[in-house]
Structure 1
Amino acid sequence: MLNLLTADQIRAADEYTIRNQPVTSYDLMERASSAFVTAFIAAYPDRSEEISVYCGTGNNGGDGLAITRLLKQKGYNNISAKIARFSERSTADFLRNYEMALKAGITVRDLKGDVGPENENCDVLIDALLGTGLNKPLEGLWKALAIKINDLQKTVISVDVPTGFKSEGSMSVNDTVIRSNLTITFQRPKINFLLPESGHFIKEFKVVEIGLDEDFINSHGSPCLVLTEDDVSGFLKQRQPFDHKGTFGHVLIVAGEKETMGAALLTAEASVFTGAGLTTACIPSQGLMALNVRIPEVMAVVRESVGVPKSLELKKYNSIAIGPGLGTSMGSKDLLSDLLKSVSLPVVLDADALNLISQHYEMMPLVPEGSVLTPHVKEFDRLFGEHKSWWDRVETGIDRASSLGVTIVLKNRYTMIFTPEGKCIFNTSGTAAMSTGGMGDVLTGMIASLIAQGYKPSIAAMLGVFLHGTAGDSIGGYVVPPSRLIKEIPLTISKFLKTKGTH
């Protein structure tokens, strides 16, 4: 997994790299600027476009001036720079790049009391005003300039971070931030790039390597990490010649009401397609025909009355998923309570199981350690209180997963997996085409299936989330129906197992 760093940790990585590699701070700036330019050219190859680069007088502005010079060398001749001289301070590397820009014949205009730009005719505006050193909201001339740039409605490319954007910490969609079409960021995504507030300011971001010392970066005890394809390939287990259905565990799905059997069917089918040896659905009698027609591989235990069916032998199951379509009646509450009192193995709780616990929080201590909770944002806030920002949810997720001894999967564009060890692991697979009802039910079935197959619950959650998103990516298109995604799961797993075999 890749460590995500705070702004202070990134600066420390810069300093460590300069001290321990044969590289000066200027050389590192040149390296970063060159990486930016390569990514910029790939996205905007038209050399005839007019480009205006807005620079501060710190190192982010130094990057901007170096980028201006390098782009001109690459044939972008309609390029100029504007320097926001709102402070008397300048860094040494900025001053060096300023002199080099003048020697290269680049047109440079200073912005002082006038924050312009009243007559900005550029096609593309590169934002290199302020970088990760900002730790407070924009104010004064900086704020006025950011507002004016946004009012221009130009195509904006930001260097490392958009001006006014906080790398970490609470943000609001009402903050003054230069809105970026593309942010080309260095070495790692900033933590806040992965939280929904960033969507108001950043349409897309791209990470470019600049050669910071990876051993130093990975030595930091960061609570926030990113799950990678290599992690998934490493976690997955190959099936062996003499394995059989008993090897891959037995999943129990407790879900569905007569009006919401679709949720139970999706969860059970996902369990089968993720590889559980056996899957049993505990469903109301009205759903039995639908189950038999849709998924004949799944066995059934019928719920005829309130409480746990007498025929349900909990000891024979290797994992239990509870909640999709279960309803929030008192009968469902009693069923959930009885189940939690009767099981000792970890359970996967989703949807109505979470809603019932939020309404009857006295049940939370009944949740076995090692369990997996899979809330969306509203369910998360019902469980753990209202939050003003997604950063606050990150902090709550880390705390609650650790204190409760559970894994919490907070579903989102970049789903967060909070582990009992106090980590927040971001998943980057998936697509907006998966934004449709039933996707969460599929994920629940996948995670329960992986637990039954012997994966540690937190690992099962990571695998489930990543494979779920990757299956959606593989299908593509405008919308990915959950029932279509389920069919893609075995193919997705097989691809990663083939990759594992080549290592």
Structure 2
Amino acid sequence: MKILTANQLREADAISIKKEAITSYALMERAAKSALHWIVTHYPLSTPFVVICGTGNNGGDGLVLSQLLQEKGFVTLTYIVDHGGQPSPDFLKAKSQANPTLLVKNQKEISDIHLPDSGVCIDALLGFGTNRPTSGLLKTAIQFINQSKLAVVSLDLPSGLVPEFYPQLPKEGIITATHTLTFQFPKLSFYLPENGEKAGKIHILDIGLDADFCRACKTPYNVMTLTLAKSLLKPLDRFTHKGNQGHLAIVAGKKGSIGAALLAGKGAIHSGVGKLTYFVPECGIPFIQTHFWEAMVAPNCGDEHLQHLPQENYPTYAIGPGIGTHEETQACLKTFLSTTNSPMVIDADALNILSLHSDWLKLIPKQSILTPHPKEFERLVGPTATFEERLEKLQYLAKTYALIIVLKGAHSVIAVPEGDFYFNTTGNPGMATAGSGDVLTGILGSLLAQGYTSKEAALLGVFLHGAAGDLATVEYNPRILSASMLPDYLQQAFNQLEQ
């Protein structure tokens, strides 16, 4: 799914209004009805609602929604925070048709807003028209809402959050939403680490904007959705065999870090690879053969760290978990990159070695998948002050060397050589644990070995990895998740895609 800019969304509104020969107020009503539909499917009629509106179009959305809630039988209180400026025409029309509302005109009157001990506050103060930090009455109203005990449902965008980049935005001037009901398309700021957590759970509501215009809109930013993941998953051939399911070679481990190799293998085996071969130092072989009866192990790679790799070629490699940065291992990696032509997955210590030898980046086979976490990425490209700058460097690296790069995080970003970004939507804080990335390396290598393109493997693999983590939290508190638990939930993750 695309992420459009605020300007593109305004243009989509205007074109939809023109082509459908409707008023902008009719579009406002459409947005409010879509929000109502979501609300009635998530909250019982006994839930009290407080709707707090600004004086722009977002406030108009709130007023129309308030009217609809009352017509449905919900007990609803509605407030207008008159924060100055010219009210929008559609807001004024909504106000003229709304049930009686209470007007808040100054900061002293904020305390007159009655918030019950339980229920839901609808945030309709600002929407996506914000382009600067909040102040004055608006900021006071936002802080008042944030201090309440109510669940907060923001319309389109949490008030105070800008739709795109604005890294220095003060957090105290932004609504902390429980849910954000965003219209038609997600907003970029939902997925940025500076303030993205303010959006809570994101729900994308269709309001029928012109499909032709939306399809034609150009944007480098996209969201990885369940629908896209389902479209990528290939059906299993009834007559397939292990040779068709791919052969992955995992190059991993050193003395003291064999666990990383085991985790990568578990990720690979549980995501469908046909055959698995390990390149590990001699000290790791007993652990591999004890844990994975399915795997083969190539001998003579070194005693306690990787010193050399066998000369025979394998179709697909995943290299890096736990290999360390010993000088002999560095030399081994250089030789390996220089003599291997097929795309591979490169992670962990292999990335750390590359950061010591930036000229080796040109040796990486095109369409390989790199999976750095933020620190590993900065070792490769240098420090970044903002996430916007990080994305610029990410795009440069992907384009320059024709690589697929997975920048891991709360919303892992997949950058492709064409210049596009895909923000993942699965995963949770419980996955912020040692070894989680090693499991991902195994999953990506497995999919690559099975014949998925590098882009397909990255998108699908990252989604499945996060989905497995989410499914694990159905059974376990995220605080106790460990990396070794994740592969056990890949079965359920695949089941979700096949439903």
TM-score in same-fold range (> 0.5): yes
Report deviation, 1:446.
1.2
CA spacing shift, 1:151–1:492, aligned 2, 3 Å: closer
Q: Distance in 1 between matches of 2:443 and 2:414?
A: 15
Q: Distance in 2 between matches of 1:234 and 1:159?
A: 30
Kindly report which structure 2 residues correspond to 1:350-499, keeping only aligned pairs within 5 A, or say none. 350-475=347-472, 476=474, 477-479=476-478, 480-490=481-491, 492-493=493-494, 496=497, 498-499=498-499
**Identity within the alignment, %:** 37
CA contact (8 A) 2:220 2:420 kept: yes
CA spacing shift, 1:174–1:281, aligned 2, 3 Å: same
Deviating more after overlay: 155-164 vs 385-394: 385-394
CA contact (8 A) 1:68 1:81 kept: no
Q: Distance in 2 between matches of 1:495 and 1:69?
A: 38
Indicate the residue corresponding to 2:259 in structure 1.
Answer: 262
Give TM-score scaled by structure 2 length: 0.91
Report deviation, 1:199.
4.5
- Structure 1 residue runs of 5 or longer lacking an equivalent are none
Report deviation, 1:414.
2.0
Pairwise CA RMSD: 2.3
CA contact (8 A) 1:170 1:390 kept: no
- Secondary structure of the 1:470 match is helix
- Secondary structure of the 1:247 match is coil
Q: Distance in 2 between matches of 1:493 and 1:149?
A: 40
Q: Distance in 2 between matches of 1:449 and 1:464?
A: 9
Number of aligned residues: 489
Q: Which runs of 4+ in 1 moved over 6 A?
A: none
Indicate the residue corresponding to 1:160 in structure 2.
Answer: 156
Indicate the residue corresponding to 1:17 in structure 2.
Answer: 16
Report deviation, 1:160.
1.1
Q: Of 66, 75, 78, which aligns to 1:77? A: 75
Indicate the residue corresponding to 1:246 in structure 2.
Answer: 243
Superimposed CA distance per residue, residues 296-348 of structure 1 (whole angstroms, 9 cap, x where no aligned partner): 211112322676536x1342x11111110111222322222221122111121
- Secondary structure of the 1:178 match is coil
CA contact (8 A) 1:173 1:200 kept: no
- Structure 2 residue runs of 5 or longer lacking an equivalent are none
Report deviation, 1:454.
1.5
Report deviation, 1:375.
1.1
Report deviation, 1:478.
1.6
Q: Distance in 2 between matches of 1:8 and 1:284?
A: 56
Superimposed CA distance per residue, residues 404-459 of structure 1 (whole angstroms, 9 cap, x where no aligned partner): 21001111222211111111112212333433322211110111111112211111
Amino acid at match of 1:96: K
Query: Does residue 1:280 correspond to 2:258, yes or no?
Result: no
Superimposed CA distance per residue, residues 385-421 of structure 1 (whole angstroms, 9 cap, x where no aligned partner): 2223333323332232122210011112222111111
Indicate the residue corresponding to 2:56 in structure 1.
Answer: 58
Q: Distance in 2 between matches of 1:153 and 1:289?
A: 55
Report deviation, 1:246.
2.2
CA spacing shift, 1:141–1:119, aligned 2, 3 Å: closer
Give TM-score scaled by structure 1 length: 0.90
Superimposed CA distance per residue, residues 36-83 of structure 1 (whole angstroms, 9 cap, x where no aligned partner): 12323444435463x433222211111121122122212233412223
CA spacing shift, 1:447–1:34, aligned 2, 3 Å: same
- Secondary structure of the 1:121 match is coil
Superimposed CA distance per residue, residues 145-171 of structure 1 (whole angstroms, 9 cap, x where no aligned partner): 434444556543222112210111132
CA spacing shift, 1:17–1:248, aligned 2, 3 Å: same
CA spacing shift, 1:495–1:154, aligned 2, 3 Å: closer
Indicate the residue corresponding to 2:65 in structure 1.
Answer: 67
Kindly report which structure 2 residues correspond to 1:91-240, keeping only aligned pairs within 5 A, or say none. 91-101=88-98, 104=99, 106-111=100-105, 113-114=106-107, 116-123=109-116, 124-152=120-148, 154-172=150-168, 174-175=170-171, 176-240=173-237
CA contact (8 A) 1:170 1:392 kept: no
Amino acid at match of 2:121: L
CA spacing shift, 1:95–1:173, aligned 2, 3 Å: closer
Amino acid at match of 1:460: A
Amino acid at match of 2:35: F
Superimposed CA distance per residue, residues 111-143 of structure 1 (whole angstroms, 9 cap, x where no aligned partner): 1x4463124321343221212122222234433
